[in-house]
């Protein structure tokens, strides 16, 4: 008999059109797999109203508002004012997904830095955690986070889809940040990521799927969904030599604390 537990998907794009045909079924499968809450981070301003409607319609869905680095060229002070207004919505729990992406460079790097800094300051002003996107920009992101954390008492956040090494993991954890661990932890060549998880242990981890992206190994090449969070938890369980129940208990507690989510 399968033991029931409580899992939280701290990063899934349930507002994505990939779920438009079967969103109710996706959520039902997730709940059957013990996923009880979901955080939906924003990519662009245009998608935030739809995400908020999902949170109002479905119990257990929460939203992070922000402008992704890919869309940083659309950032403006008017956009910042709109984010500030949306951040007051009772289902908004973070500013994100924000950060730097020097891999695709879909927005100029100067624009990315400007948007990143302004949104970090907004999070500090509102006392909200941040959800950080980083790709090929590790040093620049850590510089910005170090400055921000030093200037704001209680600054906190999640390094989404963590892809750094053990040194970065320990540094981030020392600053009070959590590592978002998703599908890539299951990939055969992800030993550096597994070593980073071992370096910080369960106290600095949360689980995520990034659905519909980054599916775990058994589903590579297919649409990801929150029900697969259990596979990620099982992998972390094997890496740390802890029971899945222990992983679920601690990562769920970490997620509830950082997002200030209510108990079910």
DSSP annotation of 104: T
pLDDT at 4 > cutoff 90: no
User: Residue 49 is inside which H or E element, if any?
Assistant: helix 48-57
Do 119 and 83 meet the contact criterion of CB atoms below 8 Å apart? yes
Per-residue pLDDT reduced to its tens digit, 97-153 = 999 999 888 999 999 999 999 999 999 999 999 999 999 999 999 999 999 999 998
Do 205 and 183 meet the contact criterion of CB atoms below 8 Å apart? no
Q: What separation in angstroms does the CA of 158 have from each of 82, 236, 258?
A: 23, 17, 9
Q: Which fold has domain 7-259?
A: TIM Barrel (3.20.20)
Give the gyration radius of the chain's Cα atoms. Answer: 17
For range 160-183, the mean pLDDT: 96
- Give me the count of residues in the chain: 264
**Helix, strand, coil % over all residues of the chain, rounded to 5:** 50, 15, 35
pTM over 0.85: yes
pLDDT band at 3 (very low <50, low <70, confident <90, very high): low
Do 176 and 146 meet the contact criterion of CB atoms below 8 Å apart? no
What are 128's two structure tokens? 């909200």
pLDDT at 199 > cutoff 60: yes
Do 44 and 71 meet the contact criterion of CB atoms below 8 Å apart? yes
**For the packed helices 229-240 and 191-200, what is the interaxial angle rounded to 10 degrees?**
70
Per-residue pLDDT reduced to its tens digit, 181-193 = 999 999 999 999 9
Do 42 and 64 meet the contact criterion of CB atoms below 8 Å apart? yes
Identify whether 97 is preceded by a cis peptide bond (ω within 30 of 0).
Answer: yes
Segments making up each domain of the chain, as ranges: 7-259
Cβ within 8 Å of residue 252, ≥6 positions away:
6, 7, 8
Cβ within 8 Å of residue 161, ≥6 positions away:
11, 133, 180, 182, 184, 208, 210, 214
Do 194 and 239 meet the contact criterion of CB atoms below 8 Å apart? yes
């Amino acid at each position: 008999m399968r033991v029931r537990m409580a899992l939280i998907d701290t990063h899934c794009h349930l507002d994505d059109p990939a779920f438009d045909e079967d969103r109710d079924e996706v959520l039902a499968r997730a709940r059957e797999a013990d996923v009880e809450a979901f955080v939906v981070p924003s990519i662009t301003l245009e998608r935030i109203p739809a995400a908020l409607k999902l949170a109002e319609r479905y119990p257990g869905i929460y939203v992070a508002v922000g402008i992704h680095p890919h869309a940083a060229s659309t950032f403006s002070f008017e956009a910042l004012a709109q984010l500030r207004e949306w951040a007051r919505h009772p289902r908004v729990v973070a500013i994100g997904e924000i950060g730097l992406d020097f891999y695709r460079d879909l927005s100029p790097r100067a624009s990315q830095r400007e948007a990143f800094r302004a949104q970090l300051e907004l999070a500090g002003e509102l006392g909200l955690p941040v959800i950080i996107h980083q790709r090929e920009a590790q040093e620049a992101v850590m510089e910005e986070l170090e400055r921000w954390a030093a200037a704001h008492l209680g600054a906190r956040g999640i390094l989404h889809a963590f892809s750094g090494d053990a040194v970065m993991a320990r540094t981030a954890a020392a600053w009070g940040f959590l590592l978002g661990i998703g599908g890539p932890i299951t990939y055969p060549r992800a030993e550096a990521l597994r070593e980073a998880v071992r370096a910080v242990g369960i106290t600095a981890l949360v689980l995520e799927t990034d659905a519909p992206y980054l599916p775990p190994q058994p589903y590579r090449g297919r649409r990801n969904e929150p029900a697969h969070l259990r596979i990620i938890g099982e992998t972390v369980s094997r890496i740390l030599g802890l029971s899945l129940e222990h992983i679920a208990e601690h990562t769920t507690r970490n997620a509830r604390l950082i997002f200030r989510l209510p108990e079910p």
